[in-house]
Amino acid sequence: MASAELGIPRLEDLPLERGRRVLVRVDLNVPLQDGEVADDLRITTALPTLAWLRERAAAVLVAGHLGRPKGEPDPEYSMAPVAARLGELIGQKVPVAPAVVGAKVEPYVASLAPGELLMLENVRFERGETDDDPTFATNLCELADMYVNEAFGASHRAHASIVGPPRVLPSAGGRLLFREVEMLSRLLDPGERPFVAVLGGAKVSDKLGVIDALLQRCDAILVGGAMMFTFLLAQGHAVGDSLVEPEMVDECRRLLETGRVRIPTDVVVAEEITDDAEARTVPADSMLADTKGLDIGPETANAFADEIGEAALLLWNGPMGVFEVAPFAAGTRAVADAVARCRGFTVVGGGDSAAAVRRFGLADQVDHVSTGGGASLEFIEHGDLPGLRALRESPMRA
């Protein structure tokens, strides 16, 4: 597969002049707590692109979505806390428009000075966003002279604010979008061997597509997390009260037949998911009836760490256990340590696994911690995303 970034216009390609209005779609879907931003990574990673535009005296309209409002204004999902945090980070107040598009927004846009930022309201306050409605896309585009997609993490969705503007405005990909595409592209057509993927997290069904795609390219897939129990079930083992997806058993059996899927030989079980739970390690083929499997065991963690250590190319997505709760964090920690030590090219993708790596303070020792979540997995699966395709096929490109 050819490198997907080829053909995506860059910021430098934009016909930028002082005071030109630039609509920047950013992945601002951050976690909130008590009305404040609890983790601002998605805001900080967009700062280089925003700074570049401000230095060139663009008037910047920032657009993003937060949560899943139902296509109408909902104060619970207002962008105000995000704008407040962004304002703190750049040392300049970022006003929030009272809507996404329309007559109420126009005066805010008109009064925006070169180098200033305006936050539009949550694009999902408009029903036309998720439908890619042409009228909404047109209204959005009318606010600006050009468009930048800095929302790699939302580019797997053919939503109006992602695929609409490149159809009518001069458009480019932002700095972070390029970094994501460049880094993740190394997993598409791997020259380096062995290529090892470590997959965990909640559901097999979420990740079946990417597992299939990876099996075309990987030497081994190491499976942990809740999804391991559906694989154990497929091998005929009892799994107690562990999370399983019975309808995925046949698929898991098919995947196991490739001979390249490794599943745990021991698991950590408990009766409840609490900080003081009594956790026990048992062989994977003799789990007890009334316990839940909540982590990979130490023997599995060692075996996985050895295989990770040999990798020339490594992808990790999905925690190995319920790492948020102390008695079930060891497997995820062991995999994170092994990935950090691995001398090959290492990529961590997925919201929770990326959070785990950061929480363990190991993010600096990984070559690329993707901010993309679901978008990174879809990119790894398909080698492209609707938002990237829209930029590449933009009729407005220079």
Q: What is the contact surface with Mg ion in residues (CB under 5 A)?
A: 351-352
24 makes contact, choosing from ligand ADP, Mg ion, none, with CB < 5 to 8 Å by partner type, with none
Distance of closest approach, residue 336 Cβ to Mg ion, in angstroms: 16
Minimum CB distance to Mg ion smaller for 132 or for 206:
206
Among 248, 238, 242, residue whose Cα is nearest residue 268: 242
Minimum CB distance to ligand ADP smaller for 119 or for 354:
354
331 within 8 A of 300, measured Cβ to Cβ: yes
Minimum CB distance to ligand ADP smaller for 43 or for 226:
226
Part in contact with ligand ADP (CB under 6 A); list of ranges 4-12, 152-160, 312-320, 384-392: 312-320
Distance of closest approach, residue 365 Cβ to ligand ADP, in angstroms: 18
Minimum CB distance to ligand ADP smaller for 120 or for 339:
339
How big is the chain by its Cα radius of gyration, in Å? 23
Q: In the range 243-272, which residues lie near ligand ADP by CB under 6 A?
A: 243
Residue of 351, 372, 383, 387 marked active site: 351
Q: Is 42 a residue of the active site?
A: yes
Residue type, 333: R
Q: How far apart are CA 368 and CA 90, in angstroms?
A: 25
Query: Residue 337 phi/psi, 5° resolution?
Result: -60, -45
Residue of 260, 359, 374, 389 marked active site: 374
Q: What angle do CA 187, 189, 192 make, to 5 degrees?
A: 75
145 within 8 A of 169, measured Cβ to Cβ: yes
293 makes contact, choosing from Mg ion, ligand ADP, none, with CB < 5 to 8 Å by partner type, with ligand ADP
Give me the residue label for tokens 């003799």: 286
Q: How far apart are CA 237 and CA 243, in angstroms?
A: 14
Residue of 25, 42, 85, 186 marked active site: 42
Residue of 203, 253, 260, 358 marked active site: 203
Q: Is 70 a residue of the active site?
A: no
By CB under 6 A, name the one of 80, 90, 158, 202 that touches ligand ADP.
202
Residue type, 239: V
Q: How far apart are CA 188 and CA 289, in angstroms?
A: 41
Among 52, 46, 47, residue whose Cα is nearest residue 12: 52
By CB under 6 A, name the one of 49, 78, 317, 371 that touches ligand ADP.
317
Minimum CB distance to Mg ion smaller for 54 or for 207:
207
Q: How far apart are CA 103 and CA 109, in angstroms?
A: 10
Number of residues that bind ligand ADP (CB under 6 A): 19
Query: Residue 377 phi/psi, 5° resolution?
Result: -65, -40
Is omega for the bond preceding 81 within 30 degrees of 0, making it cis? no
Q: Is 203 exposed, middle or buried (0-12, 13-18, 19+ CB in 10 A)?
A: middle
By CB under 6 A, name the one of 59, 96, 284, 322 that touches ligand ADP.
322
Q: Is 115 a residue of the active site?
A: no
Distance of closest approach, residue 215 Cβ to ligand ADP, in angstroms: 18
Q: Is 209 left (phi over 0), alpha (psi -120 to 50) or beta?
A: alpha
Binding mask 286-305 toward ligand ADP (x if CB under 6 A, else -) reads -------xx-----------
Q: How far apart are CA 300 and CA 364, in angstroms?
A: 25
318 makes contact, choosing from ligand ADP, Mg ion, none, with CB < 5 to 8 Å by partner type, with ligand ADP
The residue number with the shortest CB distance to ligand ADP is 201
383 binds ligand ADP (CB under 6 A): no
Catalytic positions:
42, 203, 351, 374
Binding residues for ligand ADP, rule: CB under 6 A, are 200-202, 206, 225-226, 243, 293-294, 317-319, 321-322, 324, 350-353
